[in-house]
Amino acid sequence: MDPLIDRNVLFGNPERTQARISPDGRWISFLAPFEGVLNVWSAPADDVAAAKPITNDVGRGIQMHSWAWSSDRILYLQDLNGDENWHIFSVDPSARTVTDLTPIDGVMATWLGSSPRRPHHIVVGLNDRNAQLHDPTLVDIRTGERTTLLENPGFLAWTLDRDLNVRLGIQMTAEGSLVVCKITGDGFEPWFEVPPEDSLTTGPIGFNDDGLLYLLDSRERNTSVLKSADPDSNLFTVLAEDARADIHDIGCCPITGRVQYAVSTYAERQFQLIDDALQADLDVLHAYKSGDPEVVCRTADDQTWMVAWEVDGGHHYALYNRGQAPMALFSSRPNLGAEPLAERRAVIVPTRDGLEMVCYLTVPRWCGAKTENPLPMVLLVHGGPWARDQPGFSPIHQLLANRGYAVLSVNYRGSTGFGKDFVNASNYEWAGKMHDDLLDAVDWAVDQGVADRSKVAIIGGSYGGYATLVGLTFTPEVFACGVDIVGPSNILTLIESFPEYWKPALAIYELRVGSNATEEGRAALWKISPLSQVDAIVRPLLIGQGANDPRVTQIESDQIVTAMRARKIPVTYALFPDEGHGFQRPENKLAFYGLTEKFLAEHLGGRFQDGDTDGTSMEIR
């Protein structure tokens, strides 16, 4: 049996991560702790050791950053304690001065685009005029000057060209169709329509210098293919496709904007080269290190790339000057390489009605390839639900496997990436066939000799938290215990509390979950709400909630805890006053996972590391 892996190694701050190269190739940046909080650092590209912090966030840390095309500013997003009212900040690395480019309280800034053709500007969406609609706004990253490009008449999303002109807008009809419109000088005109069944798998990506649009398109087929489209001739051309999985990522030349490769993921990541000119570069990168290289970003002249490989649970970053050997920079979590990490492998699990679910299984390392005796198991349910579990390293898998559990992540129907048929099979199936899929995964693990049926826990966040509550209310005897993280307990109050900027897209929920506009619809939504079945709970439940969550508000956890305690049903409730939709501060993650470990050990019998609550805001209520 392996020694315990310290939680801090898995969930604490990385040593250095998210490496970026400036467009002029002179500088690199990355995120690293400064006085215990993730901040942006920069250094000369040839001297990483000279790096210095250029921001001084003292709260939840900075999670996303990038260089402006001018190479004299770094941009990052930050909200207030998880409220998702994002502000976009500009940092001058030489002066270490930070400018809030969107300094408007209560407004959510969305990133719309940047371009090497206009290196000192970006376009963002701002909902300060109308809380429900984001107006495309040109921002000077040096001065913060903002210019509204147009007032949003009702579009959900925008697509820019390489000159930062707004070229397309997307409307949603009452029936859930998307209408892609061309923006003209005096208004807009419809270009093409996306039926409701394709609305989650079809949409524009961006334009190249030739004026061609790139888009993902599942119309008249199952999986999303990559296409180019000529707005003048209306000619659509397929560039890449995968019969089993949607194209979900592309790489474009920074000089021309032309697409050069596409990526799809069924069980594992598949790379499709479109521009053969990159083949020699890929050969060099594959020879340098095993595994799939990820081109993180490139200089404006396309001569230097920042490349990452996933190695031993961390990301190994290297600079690649084309035609030369890559230059190693650093690993994000070098300490993980010394830990006893278990193998996480893809497995295909059938559903009772003939679908295939791509799942990911990890068992304790000391069990070998096949367990001799059934293990206590944790079923992990991803959020969304229109998202998916990806292949690769998972810290929660490693933590739980190290504590003695089998761990199974399930891509149930509704998960994205596997074609529109798999997504649409989940329509109106919350607490129905979507839950059956999770039960089928448990049955599979039991039949394979992996899981002890009497010792299966269910854990999830967001929709996964809802699935946990469904598991403990609709099928109360199946799971030994559950951990719900920011999960909705009442679909009616969930929809009623959505942020204003979600309301123009409510047709998605009416199409795929149900409508709260009629008494019949409200009754149906109440029927699939765990709160309606709270009397059925007989197994232990742990709930984690961020007080500032704008998506699944605190009322979702409060009301089911109140209902359980009124019925004298035990529940443990952990509230974080400085978090939102999930836990970002390392101190809070460490505290909650410590609480989870102890909870699972009590009810499943695994091992646990003593809790660490230093610096956490966690309140047990």
CATH number of the domain at 366, please: 3.40.50.1820
In a domain? residue 226 = no
Asked whether residue 259 is assigned to any structural domain, the reply reads no
Q: Quick check: 150 and 521 in contact, CB under 8 A?
A: no
Is residue 549 annotated as a catalytic residue, yes or no? yes
Instruction: Report yes or no on 476 lying in a domain.
Output: yes
Q: Minimal CA–CA distance to 529: which of 439, 467, 459?
A: 467
Scan for tokens 């993650």, then name that residue: 589
Position 550, amino acid: P
User: Any idea what the Cα angle at residue 435 is, between residues 477 and 175, rounded to 5°?
Assistant: 150
Query: Which tens digits make up the pLDDT trace of 59-109?
Result: 999 999 999 999 999 999 999 999 999 999 999 999 999 999 999 999 999
For residue 265, the model assigns a pLDDT of 98
Is residue 517 a part of any domain in this protein? no
HSE (side-chain half, CA atoms, 13 Å) at 400:
29
Residue from 224, 549, 578, 603 carrying the catalytic annotation: 549
Position 568 scores a pLDDT of 96
In a domain, 462, yes or no: yes
Q: What is the DSSP letter of 2?
A: P
Rg (CA), the chain: 24
Q: Which tens digits make up the pLDDT trace of 586-619?
A: 999 999 999 999 999 999 999 999 877 889 999 9
The answer to whether position 37 is within a domain reads no
Domains in the chain, number: 1
Assess whether 198 carries a catalytic annotation.
no
Does some domain include residue 44?
Answer: no
One of 426, 462, 497, 532 is an active-site residue; which one?
462
Give the span between the Cα atoms of 458 and 273, in whole angstroms.
40
Low-confidence ranges of the chain (pLDDT < 50): none
pTM above 0.85, yes or no: yes
Instruction: For 417-450, write each residue's pLDDT tens digit.
Output: 999 999 999 999 999 999 999 999 999 999 999 9
Q: Which of the following is catalytic: 248, 316, 581, 603?
A: 581
User: Residue 454 sits in which domain range?
Assistant: 343-496+526-620
- Which pLDDT score, from 0 to 100, does residue 372 have? 80
Residue 543, C-beta contacts closer than 8 angstroms, at least 6 positions apart: 465, 483, 484, 485, 487, 557, 560, 561, 571, 572, 573, 574
DSSP 257-297: --EEEEEEESSSEEEEES-GGGHHHHHHHHHHSSS--EEEE
Bridge partners (DSSP) listed for residue 316? 309, 331
Within-domain flag for 590:
yes
pLDDT score at 363: 97
